[in-house]
Structure 1
Amino acid sequence: MVARRFRSLACAGAVWLAPAAANAQAATALERLEPAPAGDGFFAVPRAEVAGDLRASASLVFSYAHAPLSLRVGAGDAAQEAGEVVSYQLTGHLLAAIEIRRFLKLDLDVPVTLAQGGESPSITGLVSALPPGTPTTYGSPAGAAMNDLRLGVRLVLLPQRGAIPAASLVYAVWVPTGDATAFAGTGEVRHMPSIVVGADMGRFSYSIALGRRVQDTRGGLGLLGGELVAGGAIAGRFGRFSANAELYGSTVTVDALPFGRGTTNIELLVGGRATLGPLALGLAGGPGLTAGVGTPTFRVVASVGASFDVPQKARAEGATGGDASASGRDPKANAKGNAKGNKGPGVEAAAAPDADGDGVPDAKDVCPDRAGDATPTAARPGCPPDRDGDAIADADDVCPDEAGVASADPARYGCALDTDGDGIADAVDACPKERGEANADPKITGCPASVRVEGTQIVILQEVNFATGSDVIAPESYALLEQVAAVFAQHPEIARVAIDGHTDNVGVERANVTLSQRRAVAVVRWLVDHGVDARRLEARGFGPRRPVASNDKPEGRAKNRRVEFQILRRTPLGEAGWKEGAAK
């Protein structure tokens, strides 16, 4: 009852209008949820940072608002509800975004009202120009309608520095593509500059936004005008899941009293998201807390989206060369082809049974059910040619001159065993479980160029570089960290790894310890963003306390400024053995 009482059209203007103005009043964007850009992670509040170097995102957001527009007669405590102009509204948002160089993000929102309806309430005696007792009816919209399209750009002004939050300038423009007669558009261009401040602290993140939306109301028509818009959001991450709480709203600032009961919209959303590979699924809901136009009694939001690193995807496609089956080799198809082959010499003269018709009597045919080599000196009479002697016919053998094994991968059928799939046989691969490149040195051939697993460490042969005095990872280190992420993908038995940050002894020790911890957290965050499960990682900072070389010389100090990957725990259970908490 309390929520119902404080949510309505109230004094926002509908009861003050003559019927001739009713259609103009419909020129209002009733949907008060403006989804955060695709890939941001929150439902309504945008983030301040741009996480990707060149990352694309897309998502679908569905918003159900219950009773967002009601009609009330009277004022104050004497006001009574006369019916719901809009009893429900279901809106779908198609979102797309691209992040560029970690400082620029462009986004698009294509919203559509999928369904809506109301009671078409009537009020008697509202308009003095009409005969007494004549009802004034406010028609409710029905069916689907296009909404105003939104274009946005985000420019990072200050990147996050440890606990110091990032700050961004965001500018959004709404194009009047919506149906202005169905509470789905304003018929006018709207635009909004805003400032967003926020930070990602690993398991905890937050964002705060404040903007001013400007709208030409055509001489005051429409239920809304210029607005002050604000929102705040917090989230906590727990492995693949996150819990969100968001408070957002607006208040009309043109031709109306700001922060008035009927001119202010405030809503609360509580929910969560789950990450399943490249997909992110979200569900949230919450009440409307004020009586402003468009504020529902409650709202439910559901979303599904995906983000991917564009350069990483392009490299993956180039490395795999498309579908492995494109080689066109199908052992079964080849077998059928051989079975229909020409008969060998002397078949017609053979007196003994020859089931496969290859000219070799069944009694002498090593492969009596498959046409093969009828040469008397053949190593395996009656079998298809097999130059490498691995019992896989040359016609089926992708590597006919190299003894191999039957493989589930058609592109490797008959080739030597290659566990890691790097094209180097296990027999000569110095790192048979890690993808690498061929090398003239047999001790390192087949090993990763810069990353390998050795004992209790993931050893990196290059350094993870950061901007001087900060925890911002240098772009030239992305390729190295991609190799580290690949090692995690190839070794599900590695259950827990500590990312250890170290510094030299220049400066204050306490500051160095803090800096090393922030850098370790930055590496953890990068790996999680690129597919490594957060349960497998923890960050530690040691500052200058564990040197590996003397700090008396520059080359020694350079060696001490490093990031290490210590394997704390392995498990034979694979992913089932990854657990939160301290390593055991």
Structure 2
Amino acid sequence: MRTKAQSWALAALLATAVSPAAFGQTTTSPLRPLDLERLRFQPAATDSMLVDTGRVLPEGGYRMLLMVNYERGILLLQGSDGLERSILHYRTAGWLAGAWSPVDRLEFSAKLPVIIAQGGHGAEQLVGVSEPDSFGLGTPELGVRYELLRREEGAPVFLGLGLDIGLPGGTADAFGRQAGWAGFQVAPRVSVSRELGPVVLGANAGVRIRSKEVEPGRDVGTELEQGVVVATRGKGLRGEIALQAAESLVESDFALELLGGVRLPVGAGFEAFAIGGHGFTDIPGTPSFRLGAGIAYANEPEPVDRCRTGRSHTPEQCPNEDDDGDGVANKDDRCPLESGSVENNGCPDKDSDGDGVVDREDQCPNEAGPSSERGCPVKDTDKDGVPDKDDACPNEAGPASERGCPVKDTDKDGVPDKDDACPNEAGPASERGCPAKPQKPPEEPKPQPQEEKPAEETTSPLEHIVQFPVNQSEFQENEQQQLDAIAAYLKANPQLSIRIEGHTDNSGPEEANRTLSQQRANRVRAYLIQKGIAGSRMEAKGFGPDRPRVSNETPEGRSANRRVEFVPVSER
């Protein structure tokens, strides 16, 4: 019996002596401090609590929140025996966060995480690994977001830029900060979203730049971060489902977590919310699951009246305004951003053929013609200047005095038969077309001293100025005689080209006046084309109110400025 007892005692003593070598496992590298927190949330929560959607708080708005989060399965390490130890098995953390928009489109945020309690098991079995502190601070963050595009301003999506900066202050021994770079982290991103009926679809992508830490089994450092979310809209109970991913740029690791959240207003600006998630990888910091809940308070200022403050807006946002200044309210304007006429529902009138008759009233919009023919060209088959409808001989050229029929001159003496007393005998006009009778030679007149006659001053028809009524591009009938003289002058001078310049007074919108001046120049040009002048010899140019002849301060001055002038351009 004594021998057996002695043997058991010896065995126990040997076991005690070799236990450190038998149970003290090693890791591939020392365990260094790093930031294990992977929960990304938005303090402003404009559309989503979990994913940045690019939409910021309204100007002057702010939101504050207090949240508690519990998660499990955060850090696993494998020893030389091939077994994994859950060094950080659970963590309970609290968050104090807020967001504020001091000016339009810009938002600032801050987050302060506090590790309330955490713990694990197996650290004592690994050489060089210490059990993490059960209490400490996480990495504080400051953020800024800027809204580039807005749906209410006509953009197809909301688009924003964001930047988060992790600051020193986390507790390293509690895995609340990175060991290198003094704990600093920088995380820029771009975000986008769009409403689809009762839901919002959002996504963001960015990079978290931080120090590289060589950890057992893998390295931890800079990562690409992405998130997508589907969230309901409205003022009552709201829900969302999000997927957050992070791809390491220093190791072939990919962290993935599915999250869900609900939020419910409880009155007086307060809102209760809860989140939950499940991780799909064992990457450091990715929990097997998490649960969180909190309370938030939001201040939403009265919306800014964009229509009265002159801020950017769409015509739909301000239906009673007149954004293009054409006298037609946005709600009734078919072209609310393009000045036009009231008759055309706010759209500009087009005159494709340049005949002075707008397309909506032109029966032949691609062929120039007078307004009397509703914009269609006047038919003149025999090209004698007499329209077919007034031409008694539409297939034979003749003067207007003969209703378009050719003048008959049987004896070819230059005296028409109707005025020829001898239509079958040639004779001068002085004898009414009859042969001249022999006459005595006239006596030679005595030379008389001749007085020098002053040279007659000649005035070119091109100096005429065509006047127009207010807001009209159709000249008055009394101008036609002068325009006919101009046409005759141009026919007599085929080498001459002209520029027809249209002008207006300064009353009314400038852009509408510019269009009206062009229509006046086009109308005169169309009339001259109708009178047989080649369009290639005439250029029509409208100058609006830019070149007044006289001051627009009086009704007479404004009347004188509503005109068309003719400027010789070149002799071909």
Q: Place the TM-score, normalised by the shorter chain, in its bin.
A: 0.3 to 0.5
Larger radius of gyration: 2
